[in-house]
Amino acid sequence: MRIAILAILSVCISCADKPQTEVEKWEAQAENVTIIRDDFGVPHIYGKTDADAVFGLLYAQCEDDFNRVEQNYIWATGRLAEIEGEEAIYSDLRAKLFMTEEEAIAKYESSPEWLKKLCDAFADGINYYLHTHPEVQPKLLTRFEPWMPMYFSEGSIGGDIERISTEKIKAFYESGMELPKMEALQLKKEEEMAEPQGSNGIAISGKLTQSGNAMLLINPHTSFYFRGEVHVVSEEGLNAYGAVTWGQFFVYQGFNEKTGWMHTSTYTDVMDEFKETLIKNDGNLFYQYGEELRPVDSLEVTLKYKDGDALKERTFPMYRTHHGPITHRVDGQWTASAMMWEPVKALEQSYIRTKQEGYQGFREMMDIRTNSSNNTVYADAEGNIAYFHGNFVPKRDTIFDYTQPVDGSNPQTDWQGLHTVDENILVLNPENGWIQNCNSTPYTSALEFSPKREDYPNYMSRDQENFRGIHAIDLLTGRSGYTLDSLIVLAHDPYLPAFEALIPGLIKAYDANPIPELSEPIQVLRDWDFTTSEESVAMTLGHYYGTHCYAKAERPEGMYSMEWVNYWGSDWPNTRKLELFQEAIAQLQNDFGTWKMPWGEVNRYQRLNGNIRQPFDDAKPSIPIGFASGTWGALAAYGARYDNGTKKIYGTRGNSFVAVVEFGDKVKAKTILAGGQSGDPDSPHFDDQAQRYADMEFKDAAYYKEDVLKRAKRTYKPGE
């Protein structure tokens, strides 16, 4: 009997010692995760540990839109040319210039253990999804690795690195030359004409709300379907709700029970260019730095690209100085691009942010100082509202103009550490009771209680207002009694201040030189109150005229976008105003047979499939939209691209995920997601929020477990 027991024990011990297979490991972790889908398909992920929650979060994201998860990592890791061809190879080279795969692996391996566990869970969650969904055919990435999140430059895929011009990289690596001046000017013009990127963040103090609780408007402007809505919970203190860029393992813009955070693109100067003085010595390349010569770091990278059905390769040399990688030439000199590049700390900050319980912890988290491309608008259950302008600002010698490339051989031009959070522009609980940032100057963020420009170095922020900022200030000034519903109404206010600057000048030009065929459309504009709606013909006229101005009107040197509009509406020659208005009328008549087009007949929402670049078709169903472009000062921005091959305008970016949040004894929130949660046209959640989006009909966010269970439509574990 004793021998039998020993034999059984021996078998059990050998079983325990037997290592789990990878699939068994995934299956075991899946048992620690529960996913509850609510009536809008929003996944509420519950895990025992943070790593379990991350595993479930990535699994759920892949269920909703694996296509976008994969695409983001193909782009971020520098493998886009393998699916898009050689034209994408300089996007891939840009990624590798800042970090090779080997360097990303080393960053992962040097991460703190808790972060490595989250990165492991990220990869395992996606790989388990692919294992349990063999019908899904990835375009390229059949396996995800835990080092891949290192390519998130500071929390949002894209971020600073997208500001490095691939056209300049191409010019340097193909010919060793600078980008021709005319090409550079054309790129600049296309940039200026594009729908404004960025976001709106508004925080309201409890003294201005009916409940006495602080409120937060989370209103990012991204390309549609760029982010999914999620709720992720663990038994280790995680309980965050909001939006993730597909493939992120943390809530990027959102809230927990005690705090809320909203990011807006910053115009803080966080990137610089250093012109290097190169010297060749015994076949080796050096660059001058003060009195010394330093070796230029050089390595080679081989990139693959698709050519028909085949994969081909190109090998590039890559050069770096201590300032950063060599990306282009300026004035004949090799030029290095410097930006924040601390992937480990950046990921730490992005995750730690989601678990803060009050201002003190949030403020301490900001001391990590790697959230470089964004401002942060904040509110919490303690009643605090705050604004952090940027979070990574290098100290510089102000005798140099860092808006232009500086001399890298002069040590005085080097960054001299980082400004502390207290040295950065910071607003906390201003007396007026509100804070706004719409990618505009921080020096009007809280009206007369805003920071003062003279208190900061000139590189800390551009002092440029925009029409969205003017609009927000006007709406917020002197108001009180806010509720979540009234904050939604404010966020969709239809007034468009750009047209109040632009249209009266056109009418004066007409009055000075009447043109009979313009009489009727001018009268429509004369009667307009500069608000947008689906029914407004004036909105259509204003948009087409304004768009022609952006495309063809003169742009005096030294002015920026809002100043151009003011100039076109005032000092610009009357003959040119009337000429462009005639062209706008002609375009409408050519496209639609009449200029009398209600805005909602022209401005549409359409989603035909799950493609990342949406096709559009005038002959297929679409929804009328009364919103307008952020160019005109619309807070609820609805922007389009204009190379669709269609007559009608179809939105591609602007309000995507939006939330209004109230912090009190319990957190309350309402949200909307353009279209819906899923990228699958066969899913009921592909477009179940589209009409609600058009109608400004937000849904209640289910945050507490009892509310989630009341609205649960499906409860399951990953793999089921």
Q: Is the pLDDT of residue 111 over 80?
A: yes
Look at strands 272-275 and 406-407 and give their pairing. Answer: parallel
Residue written as tokens 């920071």? Answer: 451
332: buried, middle or exposed (CB in 10 Å: 19+, 13-18, 0-12)? exposed
Instruction: Name the pLDDT band for 16 (thresholds 50, 70, 90).
Output: very low
pLDDT number for residue 12? 42
N-term to C-term CA, the chain: 43
In this structure, of 161-170, 424-433, 577-586, the range with the lowest mean pLDDT score is 161-170
pLDDT number for residue 56? 98
Are the beta carbons of 525 and 507 closer than 8 angstroms?
A: yes
Q: Is the pLDDT of residue 63 over 50?
A: yes
Q: How many CB atoms lie within 10 A of CB 560?
A: 12
Whole-model pTM: value is 0.94
Q: Is the pLDDT of residue 15 over 80?
A: no
Q: How many CB atoms lie within 10 A of CB 661?
A: 28
Cα separation of 23 and 27, whole Å?
6
Q: How many CB atoms lie within 10 A of CB 12?
A: 10
CB neighbour burial string for 691-713, b if at least 16 within 10 angstroms, e if fewer: ebbbebebbebbbeeeebeebee
Cα separation of 115 and 611, whole Å?
32
Structure confidence by residue, pLDDT tens digits, 277-330: 999 988 899 999 999 999 999 999 999 999 999 999 999 999 999 999 999 999
Structure confidence by residue, pLDDT tens digits, 422-458: 999 999 999 999 999 999 999 999 999 999 999 999 8
Type of residue at 133: H
- Render 543-558 in DSSP notation, one character per residue: HHHHHHHHHHS---TT
Structure confidence by residue, pLDDT tens digits, 20-48: 899 999 999 999 999 999 999 999 999 99
Q: Cβ contacts of residue 353 below 8 Å, gap of 6+?
A: 250, 261, 362, 365
- Mean predicted confidence (pLDDT) in 336-361: 95
Instruction: Name the pLDDT band for 180 (thresholds 50, 70, 90).
Output: low
pLDDT over 70 percentage in the chain: 93
Q: Cβ contacts of residue 565 below 8 Å, gap of 6+?
A: 467, 498, 501, 502, 546, 549
- Mean predicted confidence (pLDDT) in 506-518: 97
Q: Is the pLDDT of residue 356 over 60?
A: yes
Q: Which helix (H) or strand (E) holds 131?
A: helix 113-132
- Mean predicted confidence (pLDDT) in 201-217: 98
Q: Cβ contacts of residue 112 below 8 Å, gap of 6+?
A: 344, 348
Structure confidence by residue, pLDDT tens digits, 477-504: 999 999 999 999 999 999 999 999 999 9
Please report, for residues 416, 492, 538, 545, 601, the alpha-carbon distance to residue 533 in angstroms, rounded to integers and kept in the order given: 51, 11, 10, 17, 11
- Mean predicted confidence (pLDDT) in 553-566: 91
pLDDT averaged over the chain?
93
What angle, rounded to 10 degrees, do the helices at 50-76 and 113-132 form?
70
Q: Cβ contacts of residue 585 below 8 Å, gap of 6+?
A: 517, 518, 521, 541, 544, 595
Cα separation of 371 and 80, whole Å?
25
pLDDT number for residue 5? 43
